[in-house]
Amino acid sequence: MKSKYKSSRSIIALILVLAVVFGFAADLYMIQIRDNEYYSELNNTEKKYVVPIEAARGEIVDRNGNALVTNRQGNSVILNAVYFPAADTTENNRKRNEIIYNLIKLFEANKEKYANNLPLKVDKKGNIKFKGKKEDIAAMKSADMLNLQPYATAQNCFDAMLEKYEIEGYDDKTALKIGNIRYELTRLLFSYENPVTIADDVSDKTIAKIKEDKETYLGADVSVVAYREYVDSTVAPHILGTVRKINAEEYSELKDDGYKITDQIGESGIERAMESELRGTAGELTITVGRDGTITEEVTKKPVQGNTVVLTIDRDLQILAQNKLKDVCNSVSILSSAGAVVVEDCNSGDVLAAASYPTFDLKDYYDKYDELASNPRNPLWSRFALGTYAPGSTFKPVVACASLEEGVISDDTIFTCTGNMTYRKQEFKCLHGKAHGGENVKTALKDSCNLFFYNCAMRLGIGKMDEYANAFGLGEKTGVEIAEASGMLASPENREKAGGIWNAGDTLQAAIGQSDNLFTPLQLANYCSTVANGGTRYEMHFVKSIISASTGSVNENSKTVADTVDLSQSTLDAVHQGMRLVATQGGPYLVFNQIDTKVACKTGTSEVKVNGAKRNNGFLITYAPYDKPEIAVSSVVELAGSGSETAEITAQIIDYWYQNNTDAKTNQKVGTILP
C-alpha cells in the first residue's frame, strides 16, 4: 500500500512542473505572437555609440607670448570594439589573440613602442617574475582583473592570464606580449564607447600597413592625436611640470567630471595646477550600426582645445638664470653642489624666473625616471619651491625692521662688538670672531655683525621677532600655483611640537637666521621684495593670464596683497641704506660695481655638515634698482662658503633685465593644433 505522504509529494511536484511549462508557454506566446511586432522592431533598430574625441591640451607661453609648451600632431594605434572580435567565445578569443599577435609583429618590425603595463616579465632563465610597483601588482590580482588572492605568485598570475584570455599555442614570451595588450583592454574598460590606445606616436610606415591590410589587423584603427611638444624641454621643467595617463584612483575621483580612463592629466607643476584650463573639451564621434550591419561614423561634436596659459616668467631670463646657476654650482663642486635662484617683480608678485640645479629634461622624463629618482643630487627636487634652508644673515634685515619699529633701538643706537659675548653663561661669537667695534644698524648690516643682532634679540624677544618675520611671509607658503614647502619659523612652540626644549640662547641664534629657521628661496625673494617696496607683501604667482581658446579673450591674474608690514620711513631708510652698503662696501661689491644698475643686498651663510665636515651654504637677497625697486632676487648655492659667491648669478640677471628687458611686449595668441 502506497504512503499518502509520497502520493501528495508527487502531485505537488507535478503541479510545479506544469506551472513552469505554462509560464514559459505564456512568455513564448507574448514574444512571438502578441508582441511580435515590438520585438522585431527592437531587434532591427539601428544602434548608436558615442565615442569621445580627445581635445588637445592648451598651450603654455611666457609673459611675452614665447611658446614654452605646444602640441604636435601624431598617430596612435587604437583598437575599436565595433570592428574587433568580441571576447564571448573561444573562437573569438582566438581571433583576438591572432590579430594582436599580428600587430605586435608589425610594431616590433618597425621598432614601435606598444602597451606594456602588465606587471609580469620572463627573466633570462625563462621564469615568470613580477615587475613594477606593488600597487600595480595588487591591481592585477584584484577582482576586476585576474581575481586572485593577494598571495598569488607571478606564475599563478601568468596562468590565470592565459586562462582568462584563452591564449594558447604560443611560447611564454609571446603569450606575455599578447597578454599585455589583452590586459590593457581590460584595464582601460574597452568597449564600443571606449576605444583603447595600444601604441602611441607610431610611424607613417606602420600606419600605412594597418590601413592597407584591414583583414590582418581587423579592429585596429588610427587616431590623430595632439602630443605635448616642448620648444626647449630643458627650460623651466620644475615650473612647467609633466603630463601622463590618468591612474585608476584619479579616474575614480574624476569620472563624474567627464574624465575617461584613457585621458591624460597634469601630473606636476603648471600642467597640474592649471589642469582645468589646459584640459580642453572633448568632442564626440557617433558610430551608427545599421539594421543590415552597415557601420557609419560622424563627428557630431568638435573638440575644443584647452586655453592658453600665460606665465609670468621671461623665457630668456629663465634660461640665463638656469645657465648661470649651473656654472656657479659646478664651480663650487661639480659632484655635490646644488642651488636655486628666484627673480620676482617687487610690485606685483610675478615670478620672472625660478631655477633649480641640478635639473632634468622634460623630453625624456618618463624614460629616465628611475635614474632621475635615484640620483643622490635629486634633480627632480624643486629647490626654489620645496627646498628649505637656514637663511643665515639674510634674516638680519627683518630683525632690524622689527627692532627699529618696536623702539628697542634707533638708527643711532650703537653696540660695541668685541668679537664675542657671554649670555646666560653661553658664549656667542661674531663672524669669524672678528671685533667690529662700535656698530649702528646700517654698519651692522654691512658688516653682518652677529653681536649687534644678538643685542637686538635680547631686547626684542622671540615673539616680536617672529611676528614681523611672519608678516614678511617667512615660514609660510607664498601662494604660487605649484607645490611648495611652508618652511618653519624658529619658535618655542615649533620646538615643543618637535619634542624639544627652547633655550634662551635659541632666541639669539634665531636672530642671525640659525636655530630652527628654515625658508624656501621663494620666501626669501618675497621677503626681499617686501623690504624693497616698503612693506607690501604680494602673493607670488606663476600665472599671468589665461587666453580663451574659443573666444580669444584674456583673463588677467590680478595682483593680490597677502599682508602689509607697517614700517616708518625712517626704518625703511635705515634698512635700505644698510643693504646698499653691503653692495658697495661688503663682500659682493667687486661684482656689483661692474654693472650699471644700483642694487641693495644682504649676504648670508648657514653651516651644514657634509660627510662629517663643516661646510657653509651661501645666500644672497638683492633688489634693484636701489632708488626705485622693481625686481628682487634670492639665490642659494649649497656649499658655496659665502653669499658673496652667488653674487655673479644675481649681477648677470639684473644686468640682463635692464639691458634686454622685453617686458613691454604684449601677450600673443599662439597657434593651436586640434586633433
What confidence category does residue 665 fall into, taking pLDDT thresholds of 50, 70 and 90?
Answer: very low
507/50: higher pLDDT: 507
pLDDT of res. 490: 97
Give the type of residue at 375. Answer: N
Helix or strand run (H / E) with residue 286: strand 283-289
pLDDT tops 90 at residue 134: yes
What confidence category does residue 615 fall into, taking pLDDT thresholds of 50, 70 and 90?
Answer: confident
138/10: higher pLDDT: 138
35-74 burial: b if 16+ Cβ within 10 Å, else e: eeeeeeeeeeeeeebebbbbbbbbbbbbbbbbbbbbbeeb
Region of 265 (left: φ > 0; alpha: ψ -120 to 50; beta: rest) is beta
pLDDT of res. 30: 57
What does DSSP assign to residue 32?
Answer: I
541: closest CA among 559, 523, 553?
559
203: closest CA among 82, 271, 106?
106
pLDDT of res. 112: 97
pLDDT tops 80 at residue 246: yes
What confidence category does residue 645 fall into, taking pLDDT thresholds of 50, 70 and 90?
Answer: confident
Average pLDDT for 462-466: 97
Average pLDDT for 138-152: 95
69: closest CA among 81, 57, 80?
57
Concatenating the DSSP letter of every residue in 218-284 gives TTEEEEEEEEEEESSTTSSHHHH--EEEPPHHHHHHHGGGT--TT-EEE-SHHHHHTHHHHS-B-EE
Average pLDDT for 565-584: 98
pLDDT tops 70 at residue 26: no
For residues 277 and 60, give the distance between their C-alpha atoms in angstroms, rounded to a whole number: 11
The position carrying cell 628649505 is: 388
pLDDT tops 60 at residue 216: yes
Minimum mean pLDDT among 41-45, 389-393, 557-561: which range?
Answer: 41-45
The position carrying cell 600665472 is: 543
pLDDT of res. 234: 98
334/131: higher pLDDT: 131
Query: Residue 497 phi/psi, 5° resolution?
Result: -60, -30
**98 vs 84, 89, 163, 263, CA distance in Å?**
11, 14, 16, 28
For the chain, the average pLDDT equals: 91
274/3: higher pLDDT: 274
Pairing of strands 437-439, 415-417: antiparallel
Helix or strand run (H / E) with residue 106: helix 90-109
pLDDT of res. 666: 39
pLDDT of res. 664: 38
The position carrying cell 644700483 is: 598
The position carrying cell 652667488 is: 646
The grid coordinates of residue 10 equal: 508527487
pLDDT tops 90 at residue 43: no
Average pLDDT for 348-358: 98
For residues 102 and 119, give the distance between their C-alpha atoms in angstroms, rounded to a whole number: 22
For residues 323 and 329, give the distance between their C-alpha atoms in angstroms, rounded to a whole number: 10
Compute the Cα dihedral for 657, 661, 667, 668 and give only its sign. negative
The grid coordinates of residue 323 equal: 645657465
pLDDT tops 60 at residue 583: yes
